[in-house]
Structure 1
Amino acid sequence: MTSFAQNDAAIAVDAAWTVLLQGGVVAYPSETVWGLAVLPDHPEGVERLYEVKGRAAHRPVQVSCQDARAALDLARPSAALTALSVLWPGPLTLVTPALTGTPSTLAPGGLVGLRVPSHPLALALLRRCGGRLLTTSCNPSGQPPALTAAQAQDMALADFVLPEVQAAGEGPVGGQASTVVQLPEGTMLRSGPLDRAVAALLAEVRPSELNA
């Protein structure tokens, strides 16, 4: 990565951070599809995320985290969670009981959807923002997600779209949404890139622990 690319990425992330602080919505790339992000402790931002997405208030969004530790710190421990957390960072979302006291913004109904992306720009944004963001795919509800910065820009859902810094070392957007698993039962809620890896890891967890 050149210093020029590093500077470009840092400038873009700083600009995104400024928008988030003002309650804005930021579009960003991940290894799956483009996403929309807001600060979880900014009520205006959270409200705006649901508004631009056209998402029903009772449908929760996920919490994207900078690393597995930041994600696990929000969740009630379980054998399945421990087993599957080795797949982070990567295209995996785990819906799991939250620790008591987790804010309802992060865990409506006591459940939290956790994701740790592997895309360098997504991780840089998360680190700049304190380690966690409320996120969802970049698309109006019911429509296909954006796969490029141009598509994210055309959707006009975000107040700021992170530019594609081609020299910044980021991998391509894969085009397939993350595998989603309900814990502790290990129920597959959405098929995705890590289905086989998830099944293999869950097969090593005792049935009694999956249903605990």
Structure 2
Amino acid sequence: MREDWTHEVARAARVIAAGGVVGYPTETVWGLAVRLDAVERLYALKGRDPDKPVQVSCADAETARPLTLGGAAFDALAGLWPGPVTLVLPAAPGCPPGVAPGGWVGVRVPDHPVALALLRECGGALATTSLNPSGAEAARTLSQARAYALADLLLPDGGVPASGTASTVVRVGAVGQGVEVLREGAVPASLIRERLEARGVGT
């Protein structure tokens, strides 16, 4: 992390701790982040359909694992982190219910230095979603993020721009229920299948 980010990341963590919303960069698109128990703020700000869950962004796979029931598929695909892959898995009993509607939770470890610094400063996990009003294009630059005016504070991108390509979303069912690529994004579905087949996990 560049030294001049330190103050801004620490400030953003204080905003989140107080129940605020922070806009932050990732390697895909810009995101909005709140505490895991403040997820309703994201729905209200974006005008988001309550049936569309948000995800949990994590500092590393070790932070993500206890939120889920894990399994061989998790182990196989977590090797793609940090990176643009979101895993949707059965939620562990202790997972905060606001981020696990219907018993499922989406988890990801972003591959961006500013995002990872924010997550580490905030204890490792935050409820996140793309930075845009519902139905609008996700912000790809700081200027677009600023124009949407959804966050209480915006972090700089630290010179690492977003690609604009969304993460690949993979739904991993319980044992015997298979794996489904819900959205093919920056990581090809073929690589997902290769990783799973190498671990003997059927799709």
TM-score (norm 2): 0.92
Matched, 1:174 2:163: yes
Matched, 1:150 2:143: yes
Q: Extract structure 1 runs of 4+ deviating beyond 3 A.
A: none
The sequence identity of aligned pairs, in percent, is 52
Question: How many Å separate the matches in 2 of 1:14 and 1:147?
Answer: 23
Alignment partner, residue 37 of structure 1 = 33
- Please identify, of 52-61 and 118-127, the stretch whose mean Cα deviation from structure 2 is larger: 52-61
Task: Pick the aligned partner of 2:53 from 48, 55, 60.
Answer: 60
Alignment partner, residue 79 of structure 2 = 86
TM-score (norm 1): 0.88
Q: Secondary structure at the match of 1:113?
A: strand
User: Any idea what the Cα deviations from partners look like across 1:36-79, whole Å, max 9, x if unmatched?
Assistant: 000113x3xx2221111111222210000000110112111222
Where does 1:93-104 land on structure 2 (aligned, <5 Å)? 93-104=86-97
Alignment partner, residue 121 of structure 1 = 114
Q: Secondary structure at the match of 1:73?
A: helix
Q: RMSD in angstroms over aligned alpha carbons?
A: 1.5
Q: Which segments of 5 or more consecutive residues in structure 2 lack a partner in the other structure? A: none
Q: Is the 8 A contact 1:79 1:210 kept in 2?
A: no
Task: Pick the aligned partner of 2:196 from 173, 192, 202.
Answer: 202
Q: Is the 8 A contact 2:70 2:89 kept in 1?
A: no
User: Any idea what the Cα deviations from partners look like across 1:106-148, whole Å, max 9, x if unmatched?
Assistant: 3121111000001000000000000000000011111111011
Matched, 1:12 2:1: no
Aligned length: 198
- Please identify, of 99-108 and 129-138, the stretch whose mean Cα deviation from structure 2 is larger: 99-108
Where does 1:100-115 land on structure 2 (aligned, <5 Å)? 100-115=93-108
